[in-house]
Structure 1
Amino acid sequence: MSPSFVPPSRGVLDDCVRLATTAPSLHNSQPWKFRVTPPEVEVYADPGRHLPVIDPAGREHLISVGAAVFTLRLAMRRAGYDVRCDLLPDPADPALAARVTAGRVTPVDQLTEQLAAAIPHRHTNRSPFADVAVPAGAVDRLRSAARREGATLTVAGPVARDAILGLARAADRRLRERPHYADELRRWTGQNARHDGVPVWAAAPWDALEIMPMRDFVPVGPGPRPREPFEPHPTIMVLATAGDTRADWLRAGMALQRVLLTATWLGLATTPISQPVEVAAVRSVLGRTPAQMVLRVGYGRVSGRTPRRPLSEVLLPAGPSRVTATGNGDERP
C-alpha cells in the first residue's frame, strides 16, 4: 500500500455499513455484525439470529451475510476506493465471514453507479406481478450479474417452471410439518416485527390461482387472508454455485444481491422463493449443481421496504472480540 494512501474516514465506512444493512435476509432476520477499523470492515455472522428450524445447516444464514458483504463492497467502491474482499479469513473465528478492505482511490465506473443507485430501492415484492414476459436482454443482464460473482442463474422453461413451482408447494407443506416451525415463523413475522422481521403489511395475499407458493406468515387481520390472482406464467430462475461449502454460501449471497440490484436497476420486481431449497430432498433435484435460491422475477407494483435495525445494534466495538450466540462482543485473550 502506498505511503501516501489515506484510508476512508470512520464516518465514510459507517455510511457504507448502513447501506450494507439494507441487504435481504431470511425473514428479514438481518443476521450480521460489523467491526469498523479503517481501512477495514469485518463482517460477522450473528449466531443469535440463526433460524435453526428452517435453516438447520446455516446455509441461508450465510447467504444473507454474503448479500450484506456484496452491498458493503459496492458501497465502498461507490465511495471511490478500490476494494479487496477476503472470505472466511480466520479459521479460528468461524463467525468472521469476510474482511473488506479499502485500497487506493479509484474512479467510479458506470456499473458501480447504477448498482449503488439501486440499493435504497431494492425490496422483496410478494404481490402479484403483471402477466408480461421479462425481456431477453434483461435476462442476459441478470445472468451476467450472477457470473460476475462465480454463480450461475438459469431461467426455467415452461415445463421446468411448473415442476419447480410444484416442488416449492410440496416443500412448503413439509416445512409446515416441522416441529416448532410455526413458533419460529411467529417470532420473526407479524406484530412482533419492529426493526427486523416481516411486518404485517409486507405479508402477501394468497394466490387465487393456487400457483405461487407464498410463505404462510401470521394472519394479517381478522377473517380469511386476502386472495388475488398472481401471474399465471411467472418467470422463475434458479441461482446455483459449483460447490456447497460455507464459502460457496457466502458467494451465493453476493451473487444474489448483485442479481437483485441489477433487477432493481432494470425496473424489475423480485421475490426469493426459498422453500424448495429449505428441504434437502427437494433441493437435490433442482439442478446438477447446488441450488442456493429460487427467484421469481417480473414487473410489479412498488411495495414498501421492511424495517432495518439501527446502526448502533450492528456495530461491534474495536478490539479482539468475537461474536457469541447472543450476538454481543465477547472479549477473549
Structure 2
Amino acid sequence: MNDIGTHAAEQPKQGDSTGLDLLACVRAATAAPSLHNSQPWRFRIAARTVDVYADPRRQLEVLDPAGRELLISVGAAVFTLRLAIRGAGHLSDLKLFPVAAEPDLVARVSVGRPMAPTPAAEALVAAIPHRHTNRWPFARSVVPADAVERLADAARREGATLTVANPVSRTTILNLSQEADRVLRSKGLYRAELARWTSPREGRGDGVPMTAVGPWDALEILPIRDFGLLQPRLDRAAAEFEPYPTIMVLSTDGDTRRDWVSAGQALQRVLLTATWQNLSTTPISQPVEIPAVRRLLTDIRAGRWAQMVLRVGYGRPATATPRRPLAEVLLPDDWEEP
C-alpha cells in the first residue's frame, strides 16, 4: 500500500481555501478504535491544521495506568485523520508532541499540497466505516500468505513490526493471554471499570454495547474480553471459536510516548488493510496490560516492544460501536489547556 502523506454540539462546516472539509476529516478520525471504545481524543481545527489532543479524563486507570493504550488509541485517530486528508486529495505533514509545554497535545496535522489520492489510499478510506472489532468465531480457513504480508507491510510503513506467531509461539501467546485475563478478572477494580464501559443504555455515544460483545468461547482458547462479566452467563450463548487462530504481535523499536502513538498509527493502518481484504480482526490487549506478561512478549535485545496482540481471520460481519457527536470532541479555537 502506498504512503498516504508525509510525516514530520456539531460545529459549522470548516474548510480551507482549497475547499478541503477538515470537519469531515475529523469526523472520519473519530471512527478509529480505542480501548473499551473510550474515544480518548479531542480535536481543534484551524485554517489548515488540526491539533489532536489526548483526553486524560477518558483514561482507564486500572487497565492503563501509564496511558500507553490511551496514546495508541489517539495514534489510531491521528492516522485516520491523515488518511482522510489524503483521500480528500491533499498530502499532510505530521508533528508529534509539537509543544513541549502541552503534553496532551499529541499531534499537529497540517494540510499539504494538493495531490490526487492513489487507489490504495482510496481503498483504505473506503474501509474506515467498515472496520469493526469482531468478537465472534472466525472460519477455520487459513489466512493467505500474501494477505499476511500486506498486513506486515502496513505496519512497516508506520514504523512498527507485525510478526505472525508460528504454532509453538501461538500456543504460548494464547496461554499467556488466558493467564493475563484471569489476573485481570480477579481484580474488583477491573470488574468495576469494565462495567462502567459496558452499558445497555440506549443512545450512549461511547463504550461497548452488548450487541458487540459476542459469544463465549466454548473451547476456552481465546481470551475474548468479557464485557458481559457482570451479566449472567446464561444470557450469552457459547460457540466454538477457531482452534488454530492466526495471531500476530505488533511491536515498536522503543517504548516511549512517541512509540505508543506510532503503534496506534500502525495498528489502524493494519486494521484498515485487513478490512480492505475482507478480513476480520480482534485486538487482544490483555497480555500487554499485565507488565510481567508483556515483558515475556517483548524482545528488548531485538528492539521490539510488544504493543498489541491481534487475531485475524475471516468472520461474520461485526456490529458497529457508537461514536460521540463531534460537539463533544471539538475544541474551540481559543481553548487553552488548563
TM range (shorter): over 0.9
Which residue number in structure 1 is paired with residue 7 of structure 2? none
Which residue number in structure 2 is paired with residue 134 of structure 1? 143
Whether the 8 Å contact between 1:190 and 1:220 is mirrored in structure 2 is no
* Residue 45 (1) aligns with residue 60 (2): no
One-letter code aligned to 2:327: S
Partner Cα separation in structure 1 for residue 87 and residue 168 of structure 2: 41
Which residue number in structure 2 is paired with residue 312 of structure 1? 327
* Residue 248 (1) aligns with residue 259 (2): yes
Q: Which runs of 5+ in 2 are unaligned?
A: 1-15
Partner Cα separation in structure 1 for residue 35 and residue 60 of structure 2: 8
Which residue number in structure 2 is paired with residue 283 of structure 1? 294
- Specify the SS of the correspondent of 1:126: coil
Give the Å deviation of 1:174. 0.9
* Residue 73 (1) aligns with residue 82 (2): yes
Partner Cα separation in structure 1 for residue 138 and residue 59 of structure 2: 31
Q: Could you say if the C-alpha distance between residues 222 and 155 of structure 1 is closer, same or farther in structure 2, counting changes exceeding 3 Å?
A: closer
Which residue number in structure 1 is paired with residue 160 of structure 2? 151
Give the Å deviation of 1:204. 2.0
One-letter code aligned to 1:214: I
Partner Cα separation in structure 2 for residue 248 and residue 50 of structure 1: 18
* Residue 321 (1) aligns with residue 336 (2): yes
Most deviating of 191-200 and 166-175: 191-200
Partner Cα separation in structure 1 for residue 247 and residue 44 of structure 2: 37
Aligned positions of 1:1-333 closer than 5 A: 7-9=17-19, 12-192=21-201, 194-218=204-228, 219=230, 223-288=234-299, 289-322=304-337, 330=338
Alignment TM-score, normalising by the size of structure 2: 0.91
Partner Cα separation in structure 2 for residue 136 and residue 120 of structure 1: 26
One-letter code aligned to 2:194: L
One-letter code aligned to 1:70: F
Give the Å deviation of 1:317. 0.3
Alignment TM-score, normalising by the size of structure 1: 0.92
Whether the 8 Å contact between 1:142 and 1:153 is mirrored in structure 2 is yes
Partner Cα separation in structure 2 for residue 140 and residue 24 of structure 1: 22
Most deviating of 271-280 and 174-183: 174-183
* CA deviation profile, 1:218-266 (whole Å, cap 9, x unmatched): 3556735311000000000000000000000000000000000000000
Whether the 8 Å contact between 1:16 and 1:75 is mirrored in structure 2 is yes
Partner Cα separation in structure 1 for residue 216 and residue 252 of structure 2: 31
Percent identity between the two aligned chains = 61
One-letter code aligned to 1:274: S
Partner Cα separation in structure 2 for residue 121 and residue 28 of structure 1: 16
Q: Which runs of 5+ in 1 are unaligned?
A: 1-5, 323-329
Give the Å deviation of 1:297. 0.1
Partner Cα separation in structure 2 for residue 7 and residue 291 of structure 1: 42
Calculate the aligned-residue CA RMSD, in Å: 1.4
